[in-house]
Amino acid sequence: MHSTCILLWTFWSYCRAMMGRFCLLKNRCLLRQVLPGLPTFMHRQFSLDVSSPLFRTQGYVNGQWINVASTFPVLDPATGEEIAKVADCGPTEAKLAVDAAYKAFYSWKQYTAKERSVLLRKWYDLLTLNKEDLAKLITFECGKPMKESLGEIAYAASFLEWFSEEARRVYGDVVPSATKDRKILLMKQPVGVASIITPWNFPSAMITRKVGAALAAGCTVVVKPAEDTPLSALALAELAGQAGIPAGVFNVVPCSREKTPSVGTILCTDPLVRKVSFTGSTSTGKILLKQAADTVKRVSMELGGHAPFIVFDSADLDKAVAGAMNSKFRNSGQTCVCSNRFLVQSGIHDRFVEKLGKAMDTELRLGHGADPNTTQGPLINVRAAEKVEHQVQDAVSQGAKVLRGGKRLDGSFHQPTLLTDVTTHMLCTKEETFGPLLPVIRFNTEEEALAIANASDVGLAGYFFSQDVSQIWRVTENLEVGMVGVNEGLLSTPEASFGGVKQSGIGREGSKYGVDEYLDVKYMCFGGLTL
């Protein structure tokens, strides 16, 4: 940590001891901070003011809030200040949650599809009603600007709405038989207990996208949220209880980074768990796949991305620039479908880069997510900012030019950065950045662009801009990704399937296919008939 940061921490330790700036009141939780010495955009006070029922810090098992012996801190990534201490659940609590989910499964699966649909709809209504408080939690534990946090809550709620409807559309099949004395029926039944392991970058939506489908199918769940963002998951648990979701159907076991391996082992190896759904890095996904293999569990894996963003000469330049801004800088570049490699055809390259630089100057404002003027919050932690800094330094050392930004700031902040003269030998084109770095590679032909775009072990999303209809079909069919945005930089929606190919994962979330991930197909042969 920089010497200035060390001085700040010393100053703040003294302030906390002398002034007690962090306090929990009866009905509200309030965090205030004053940050002299940080960049000018951080000289304000910011308050986390959330209604008491939604500010939960205990584990949630079998419909009860549980205390454990130890806690871990949740920090505001913009300031490094502690927001709360949360129950540090371990293997014991994880096992209790699995047992509770297993017991609840046998009653929950007997609920009719309509009954499950009604409860999911009530949960959706409560998310919508409490969107402001839920968004504040996201902003303070994840760092997103409030506008984006409100957008995430709407997105999270949309999955509960969608799957409340899909619950009543889980159809089987009656298959024509080759003989007259039997009928063939294919029935769909819930797989059982599902372990849900979610990331920090969408701390509400990644839960509802998985849990909405699981509950609609008749499964019960144990959620392990990311250690950086447990408050959103616990608030969802509170609202699930208010909606009438029965005890044991939805359980949350928050834990620290240190306890994550042992908790994860329980969730992936316990024989009572029949399904594991994970969103996170490819390296962690491979570990969980190996653990789940011993008991042959069903798995869904939404893993790393390295999305190409291709701009062809025929593209509408203004739309391409707008798409690039949306695709790269949402959540400060910390989404799994963020564009990571920008390929721009020679004939339009210089004009695209010029317009993009001006858009960055006009639209991007660094700051705390609670500031209404902020469009770019912090990265999730110092390690994330260091990774971006390292990729910029590597690219510059190999000849890349910095046209905008390029500097690491204090704490978890990094300037939005535009690089040109980038080559495929640079680190930023070989690994996912997860930060506000936009490297531009010049190309000449469609074949060259596709070769660069597909030269990756992962294939989650890809984007391209073109007005050539034949080219649109060719490129869409040849991009080795699970999702393609054509003349569009934002593609996520509950109605469409979400997932990748190659090492970007297994299975699909959202859409009508999302429920299938939590269903077994049972074949019934009804014989001995006289027809």
Active site residues: 302, 336
Q: Cβ atoms within 10 A of the Cβ of 277, count? A: 28
Tell me how far apart the alpha carbons of residues 141 and 95 are, in angstroms, rounded to a whole number.
27
Tell me how far apart the alpha carbons of residues 500 and 491 are, in angstroms, rounded to a whole number.
13
**In residues, how long is the chain?**
531
Q: Find the helix or strand (DSSP H, E) in which 394 lies.
A: helix 382-397
Judge whether 263 and 253 are in contact, CB under 8 Å: yes
Tokens representing 317? 């330049």
Tell me how far apart the alpha carbons of residues 522 and 513 are, in angstroms, rounded to a whole number.
17
Tell me how far apart the alpha carbons of residues 113 and 169 are, in angstroms, rounded to a whole number.
8
Judge whether 223 and 207 are in contact, CB under 8 Å: yes
In 3D space, the residue among 264, 196, 197, 281 whose CA is nearest the CA of residue 500 turns out to be 281
Question: Cα dist. 426→24, 304, 399 in Å?
Answer: 48, 19, 9
Beta bridge partners of 483: 461
**For helices 205-217 and 146-166, what crossing angle results, to 10°?**
10
Q: CA angle, 74 as apex, 70 and 77 as ends, to 5°?
A: 155
Residue type, 235: A
Q: Give the side-chain half-sphere CA count within 13 A for 423.
A: 7
Tell me how far apart the alpha carbons of residues 38 and 30 are, in angstroms, rounded to a whole number.
22
Residue 461 — φ and ψ, nearest 5°? -130, 160
Chain centroid offset of residue 230 CA = 13
Question: What 8-state DSSP symbol labels residue 369?
Answer: T
Q: 3-state DSSP call for residue 482?
A: coil
Judge whether 321 and 355 are in contact, CB under 8 Å: yes
Tell me how far apart the alpha carbons of residues 490 and 155 are, in angstroms, rounded to a whole number.
13
- Tokens 């300037």, residue located: 415
In this structure, the strands spanning 307-311 and 483-486 are unpaired
